[in-house]
Amino acid sequence: MMHKYKISEAKNCLVDKHIAFIGDSRIRQLFYSFVKIINPQFKEEGNKHENIPFEDRISSVKVDFLWHPEVNGSMKQCIKVWTEWSIKIHNGSNEALSQYKTNITSIAPLLEKLAKTSDVYWVLQDPVYEDLLSENRKMITNEKIDAYNEAAVSILNSSTRNSKSNVKMFSVSKLIAQETIMESLDGLHLPEKSRETSAMILMNVCCNKILKPVDGSCCQPRPPLTLIQKLAACFFTLSIIGYLIFYIIHRNAHRKNKPCTDLESGEDKKNIINTPVSSLEILLQSFCKLGLIMAYFYMCDRANLFMKENKFYTHSTFFIPIIYILVLGVFYNENTKETKVLNREQTDEWKGWMQLVILIYHISGASTFLPVYMHIRVLVAAYLFQTGYGHFSYFWIKGDFGIHRVCQVLFRLNFLVVVLCIVMDRPYQFYYFVPLVTVWFMVIYVTLALWPQIIQKKANGNCFWHFGLLLKLAFLLLCICFLAYSQGAFEKIFSLWPLSKCFELKGNVYEWWFRWRLDRYVVFHGMLFAFIYLALQKRQVLSEGKGEPLFSNKISNVLLFISVVSFLTYSIWASSCKNKAECNELHPSVSVVQILAFILIRNIPGYARSIYSSFFAWFGKISLELFICQYHIWLAADTRGILVLIPGNPTLNIIVSTFIFVCVAHEISQITNDLAQIIIPKDNSSLLKRLACIAAFFCGLLILSSIQDKSRH
């Protein structure tokens, strides 16, 4: 993966450094492209056959081009590179190649000596496009260039005895030229785009080990294990050993209960013993499996074991998979168990197809295409809408504000992310969606749990209590508006310790404020929709029988027409967006239009409400795990690239990595559910003791994390 260096990053990396490009016109091209990363306004001017200096005095960066087209006595003084001019000057003779080998041999020890204290790169010669070469360059052939390159590589690699040469071969420009030289204007010099890529790769080679960008996968060492990661590795290792011991003991005990032979019939008679699975066994088994899964996570995205590649967006890489999964989703359909609006099967289906679309969006790099980006923002908003709708409905109908319910939800939402924060050494805010739904769940809980607690059973159709609940929602909306337009107050709240440890990213909470603000109203919209829907349902205004339209035929047709028009209007507006910042500013207020339109289109017709896609619903049940796991075992470099398990075969690679990714997500979902039953007991006294232990664990984790941060700085 190649990191695209910004001007500030390049200057920061090269501060107080002196870089020299020595060679002919093609090295001069590389020099110009390299300098333009530091200063895009630098002009290609001056005598072509002279030295060209560049200096950025603010950052004290000095880059020089030294004109030495041949390996001769003059170059020996500078200790550098040969290029194509040697072939031209000597008319491509074999004597020139022999002399070149002699000259390379004489400067090789000097290059090795220089390479002990500086980085020295020998740029292999690019191929030419012989059909476009002018008459005075016809003697430059790819066959001769290959001979010169082979000679340079052979001599430089054999210049040191019993050790590897310190002079590094820069061959990437040659590889790029093999694909793009036919676009050259003169058959000799690379097109501008190709040379810019070569220069950017050279910048990666020089700077990745200094700045350590996540999406620059070459030329930097594997990050050292932190103390927390080492402790996690020990814990999972002990869990695996503990489970294996438990399994062996259990198997030996089972063998003692061998089937006995019935003396009368002569047949084996089995001892039927139903041994219940103990909580300890489930606990050890779950942590054993989780330990193996986390080892895979680490190998994929931290150990530099597998390759990674950059994303390149095309319309076909996004829309063709979308059509494919749509066909599969329609093909696998079943009848719903109930025909209520947003029933469980339907919400699972909704989550499923949205998650699959988001996954395709991420792996195809479609965020660069603004219309797709705006529609994906609606899908993220729809997840949060379901958060508001689902949790409000539960608390309103059940009236269960107990600590067990809160702990269950928080555990299921956060368990995987907390483990990944520890194993992958990433801040909590990095997995931004989980902090978002966690905070909104707590907001919903506090809003409804605070005095006066108003639930459906208490209200019982009483307008006074309904009005009281609407006042609560109005106050919530007021708080949302205040925080949305008061960045300072928002940042002060979330910059307090220990909240700062959870919500800071790169030393500040701006990213968290941006994410929260982008969908600030949609959870409120979900709560309000749930309240209105449940009130209408209580008064039996809706017809939710099988095959029945939600309202009378006339009202249903009108609402369907309005919904379709609203849905298409939003899509037209999103597709016509020109400025991401301006569209993001409008998004919080208008995203609910398309969400409500979809809900009505999906639920007004009785036949649509009576069926669901089991294919999408299956993925919907593990949507959270899919969203989080993609960061490290499907995508790579913290979502900036694509994981490559099978190099050279993109189709097979995506099939294999996707299969593993989905299986892992499903397994983690099962592990989370199993552990939730054990770690979060229904008995309040036991639960409080567990919470005290969990609080102590997190305090220790925060302290260790703070110590690590200080040691890094």
Which residues carry out catalysis?
25, 186, 189
Residue type for position 328:
L
Element containing residue 24 per DSSP (H, E): none
Say if residues 359 and 380 touch (Cβ distance below 8 Å).
no
Say if residues 309 and 363 touch (Cβ distance below 8 Å).
no
**Distance in angstroms (rounded) separating the CA atoms of residues 46 and 29:** 13
Residues 6+ apart with CB under 8 A from 184: 129, 132, 190, 191
Say if residues 456 and 466 touch (Cβ distance below 8 Å).
no
- Reference 675, options 403, 410, 279; nearest CA is 279
CA angle at residue 125 from 124 to 126, to 5 degrees? 115
Residues 6+ apart with CB under 8 A from 64: 18, 19, 20, 21, 51, 52, 53, 54
Q: Give, in order, the Cα–Cα distances in Å from 303 to each of 221, 295, 308, 369, 642.
A: 9, 10, 12, 32, 15
Token digits of residue 662: 């989905």
Residue type for position 142:
N
Pairing of strands 641-644, 268-269: unpaired
Using a 10 angstrom Cβ sphere, with 0-12 exposed, 13-18 middle and 19 or more buried, the burial of residue 617 is: buried
Return the residue matching tokens 């990661």.
229
End-to-end CA distance of the chain: 27
Per DSSP, the residues of 230-280 read HHHHHHHHHHHHHHHHHHHHHHHHHHHSPPEEPTTT--EE------PPPHH
Task: Locate all alpha helices (DSSP H) within 72-215, ordered by sequence.
Answer: 73-78, 85-89, 94-115, 142-157, 172-180, 192-211
Pairing of strands 18-23, 61-67: parallel
Q: Before 276, cis peptide (omega within 30)? A: no
Cα 486 versus chain centre, distance? 30
Torsion sign across C-alpha atoms 186, 187, 189, 191: positive
Token digits of residue 3: 């990191």
**Distance in angstroms (rounded) separating the CA atoms of residues 462 and 531:** 14
φ/ψ of 260, rounded to 5, equals -95, 160
Number of H-type helices and E-type strands within the chain: 28, 12
**Distance in angstroms (rounded) separating the CA atoms of residues 60 and 54:** 11
Using a 10 angstrom Cβ sphere, with 0-12 exposed, 13-18 middle and 19 or more buried, the burial of residue 545 is: exposed
φ/ψ of 610, rounded to 5, equals -90, -10
**Distance in angstroms (rounded) separating the CA atoms of residues 63 and 71:** 21
Token digits of residue 98: 């022999």
Say if residues 144 and 92 touch (Cβ distance below 8 Å).
yes
3-state secondary structure of 390: helix
